[in-house]
Amino acid sequence: IAMSDSLTGAMTRRGWMEAVETQIARCRRNGQPSSIVLLDVDHFKRINDTHGHAVGDQALIAFAETCRHGLRDPDILGRCGGEEFSVTLPNTNREGALTLAERLRQKVQALVVPLPDGQDLRFTVSIGIAAYEPSGPAQPPTIADLQQQADKALYQAKHRGRNRVCA
């Protein structure tokens, strides 16, 4: 079973989920915060429909590379489907996750993908965050709970106009 996405080099959803479970369990044991970040390339269907799937693939490759350069060594990037990516941020509270996510948003907004016809492709990303804080509720959230919270935040970002971070 593949643990790495062949197009972008990010972990597959399955690999990412396994890594997240291990990291969050470690953070809980050590009383450290941990955050999950969901990223969705804005209007990706339009990129494929306008420029073709080969350009869409180039955009995803550039996006994943941009994200990797904006992350720390322990952070894990996964491609969870199509244009949807996830990042786990160990030892990172909500404020730290917001700071990192905003930095990623800005890097993606500044990204330029050269097109075969000499033009440039630019796009943006919407981001949702959920954080586990050890001082939080007695019953810590599950990975599914954190993903659901981050997904809600992601949809808030999209409904508020896209190209933004919500937590």
pLDDT tens per residue across span 99-121: 999 999 999 999 999 998 999 99
CA distance readout (Å), 15 to 3, 18, 78, 82: 5, 5, 8, 16
**DSSP label of 73:** T
Q: List the structure tokens of 33.
A: 């915060």
Identify whether the C-beta of residue 146 lies closer than 8 Å to the C-beta of residue 23. Answer: no
pLDDT value for 1? 59
On the question of pLDDT at 137 being above 80, the answer is no
3-state secondary structure of 146: helix
This prediction has a pTM of 0.94
pLDDT value for 102? 98
Identify whether the C-beta of residue 109 lies closer than 8 Å to the C-beta of residue 41. Answer: no
Q: For residue 35, which phi and psi values (nearest 5 degrees)? A: -130, 155
pLDDT value for 75? 95
Quote the mean pLDDT of the chain: 94
Average pLDDT over residues 2-9: 90
- Band (pLDDT 50/70/90 cuts) for residue 141 is confident
Identify whether the C-beta of residue 128 lies closer than 8 Å to the C-beta of residue 151. Answer: yes
On the question of pLDDT at 139 being above 80, the answer is no
Q: What is the pLDDT of residues 64-95, one digit of tens each?
A: 999 999 999 999 999 999 999 999 999 999 99
Q: How far apart are CA 129 and CA 132, in angstroms?
A: 10
Helices (H), 71-120: 94-110
- For residues 47, 12, 101, 49, the Cα torsion angle rounded to the nearest 10 degrees is 10
Identify whether the C-beta of residue 89 lies closer than 8 Å to the C-beta of residue 36. Answer: yes
